[in-house]
Amino acid sequence: MIASILLRFARKVVEGVLSQLGGLINQVTEQALNPMNQMVQAVTGGVWVGKGADAFVEEVQGLMMPGTTQITETIGIFSKNISNAVDVIDQADSMVNNAVNGLADVFGSIF
């Protein structure tokens, strides 16, 4: 009984963490990646021209954007791994419950 309550509580905590991770992905996208895309589009659209502009676009597209994308991908992988861990815990809990119920049936039939 207590284990079941603790497991439900833990699941709610994990769901909260997963929700926060999803929010982080959105934040990184909205506050970093999207503005970088807008800056690159503005520069390539002619707002800034010359070698400095070309170097800026190259730096943003070649270093900053891939790094930012890597951050969102890492958060996504972390989130998926947490979900997989929860699935493993659920399967183990189910297996334990089935084993306990099976033993209870065996002992019930003996006594």
The domains found in the chain, sorted by start residue, are 2-110 (1.10.287)
Task: Check if the beta carbon of residue 43 is closer than 8 Å to that of residue 56.
Answer: yes
- Give mean pLDDT, residues 41-70: 97
pTM score: 0.81
Residue 6 pLDDT class (50, 70, 90 cuts):
confident
Give the DSSP letter of residue 44. I
Whose tokens are 């992988």? That residue is: 77
What's the pLDDT tens digit per position in 18-49? Answer: 999 999 999 999 999 999 999 999 999 999 99
Distant-in-sequence, close-in-space partners of 56: CB < 8 Å, separation ≥ 6: 43, 48
Mean pLDDT of 70-80: 97
Q: What percent of the chain has pLDDT over 70?
A: 99
User: Given CA atoms 91, 96, 100, 103 in this order, what sign does their dihedral have?
Assistant: positive
Q: Which two tokens stand for residue 3?
A: 């284990």
